[in-house]
Structures are given as C-alpha cells and as structure tokens.
Structure 1
Amino acid sequence: MTQQNAIDWPQEYLPGTGDNFVSNEVVVQGVAADRVWRYLTDTSTWESYYDNVADISFPGGDGPVLRDGVHFRFGTFGFPPLDARVVAFQAPADGVPGRLSWTARQDGGPEERLDVLHAWLVEDLSGGRVRVLTQETQIGRPAAELAAQRPNPMLNGHQAWLDGLIRAASA
C-alpha cells in the first residue's frame, strides 16, 4: 500500500472551517515534479497557461519567481488584485514533495473582505508519474457567494489551472 502526502494546514484555514473550500488533483505520466514546479513558481508563465489570472505584480521588487516570504499581487475570479504572501515554500526533491502556499487578502467592509490560503503539493510518484494537488480555503462573504454558485467557479477554475500547468510543463 502507498500513502500519499497531504497539504499541511494552519489551524486558521483548516478545510471545512471557512466559507469556501475546494480540492483539485491530477496524476499524470511523462512529466517530472521539478518541471511542473518551474511553471508553478514562475509567475511570468501563469498567464500563458491559465486565463483566470491577471495583473501579477511584485510591490517589493521581488519576482517573478516565487520563494518563501515573497509578497505579490494578482487578480483572479473577478476580484481586484489580491495582496498575497508566500508562507510555505519547499522545492520537490528525491522522496520529498514540493510544497507551496500563499495567503491572499482583500480588505474592505464585510461585503468585500476576503482571506485565502492557497496550497499546492507537487510530487513524483513511481512509474514516471507526477501528482499535483491544489487546495484552497477562503473566508469571507465573497467566498460564501462563490461557494453557493453552481457549477462552483473555484473548483472549475482550479481544475483549469491544473490542466494548463500540466500542458505547459509537458510541452
């Protein structure tokens, strides 16, 4: 039996405790975790394979490659650019999954306030396979409104991100 790795969740964002939670995963052959990781962490490639992201910027002068502690901004799901900060960063290595997480916030009154943790896990599996898991917890009224929509735009949007990421890394 093989056990798969999981996202490490801070208590504040524990799945099921926020207003919206989604989980998407792909397992494919023919591409390695380090190649997927390059496309995931280099934000200059995001818009080439994912059409639900825009206006990526780095107010502190960092970027475009993410690393621990980097502050960046980006627009997604029709929200004004969110303030984001990388809070977990571990590149994949032999037997060690890659881990990337960022928090993202939108300030404002109760109608606009949004707090997010978006986490990624990228790992090589036996048989030349790679597994990419992405999960997100959102807190706030805009998150609850997204969660109530059918089909769920967050679930479908993250699947599009995964599919595009795999296509880009496989090219």
Structure 2
Amino acid sequence: MKSINWSTDYLPGHTDNFVSNEVITDGVTLAAVWKNLVDTSKWTTYYDNATNIILDDQTNTELKFAEHFRFDTFGFPIDAQVMELVEPTDGETARLAWHGWQNGDADTQFDVYHAFLIEKLTDGRIRLLTQESQVGQPAKDLANQTPNPMLNGHQSWLDGLVKAAKRTMTE
C-alpha cells in the first residue's frame, strides 16, 4: 500500500496529534472520487465540517498545486497551502496534501499537514486514505479527547466523499 510523503516536522509519532482514516470501496472510479475531493465547492455537499472555503484564485473552485486557501474546520479558521497534488492516472496513486495553520500565541498556534491518497486496487476497488499530523496546544487538546474528534471527523469526510463519488457516477 502507498503511504503519505511526510516532512520531518509532521512525522507521525513525533507530533502532538495524529489521525489516520481509510476506506476501501467499490462502485466508484478514481476520477469520480478525485473530482469531489479537489473541487472545494463540493466539500460542503458531503462534509459538514468544512465551511467558509475561499481560494485565493477565485477563477474556479478546484485546488491546484501551491494554491493558498482558507476554510473553517473543527472550530478553527485555517489558512492552507496545497503542498502535493497528483491527479489520478493509470498506475499512479492520486495525492492531495496541504499544510494548514492558525497563527496565534503558545496556546492557540496550530500547524497541520493533511494528506489524501486515492489508489486503484484489484477487483474494481478503490482505497481512500487520509492522515493528518498536528503540532500545537490545540492539537494536544484534541488528542486528549475521547473519542478523538479528528478521527471521527475525518472518517465522516471519507464516508461522505465515497457517497458523493457514487452520486457522481449516476449523474
């Protein structure tokens, strides 16, 4: 299985919070999943924890490599920049990752690296993996909650993404 390309600053096990969620499904294509993931105008149709999404380049709503954008999630206003964007092609795992942050003091500064992998498996199955590694006091606070809201929230994102992709397949 493919894995996330982590920088040293966000290497899981060395950060304040880390979550990993995965779904393996069938009945969808890489293209349908990708379309619903990179088009930020679709996020609010299947994931209720991403709001007020604004891209610096407002000529369209699709993320591009190095794109800077903002959105609210888990009660935090996040600034973000796309760090990795690899579209799905035959034999190639699709990748989307961004660095996100909330500036502040020692109690409110928050840095994250959030990544998605989408890969084609055998027998018409698709694997969706999302992982996020976080640094800062808000990350420590999230990590100490049971259940971890990031774990449940990101599972909701993947489940919603699969449902949205299946709807796309029937349109």
TM-score computed with the length of structure 2 as normaliser: 0.95
Distance 1:116 1:11 in 2: 12
Q: Give the 3-state SS of the residue equivalent to 2:96 in structure 1.
A: strand
% identical aligned pairs: 51
User: Is 1:90 paired with 2:70?
Assistant: no
- Aligned residue number for residue 52 of structure 2: 55
Give the one of 14, 19, 23 matched to 1:17: 14
CA offsets per residue over residues 12-68 of structure 1, 9 Å max, x none?
111111100000000001111111011000000000000111110123436410110
Query: 2:140 and 2:30 mapped to 1: Cα distance?
Result: 33
The unaligned stretches of length 5 or more in structure 1 are none
Q: Residue by residue, what CA displacement relative to the aligned partner does 1:101-132 show, whole Å, maximum 9, x if unpaired?
A: 00001001011100000000001111010000
Contact 1:62 1:71 in 2 (8 A): no
Task: Count how many residue pairs are aligned between Structure 1 and Structure 2.
Answer: 167
TM (normalized to structure 1)? 0.95
Letter in 1 for 2:102: Q
Is the contact made by 1:63 and 1:70 (CA closer than 8 Å) also made in structure 2?
no
* C-alpha RMSD of matched pairs (Å): 0.9
Specify every segment of 5 or more residues in structure 2 that has no aligned partner in the other structure, as ranges. none
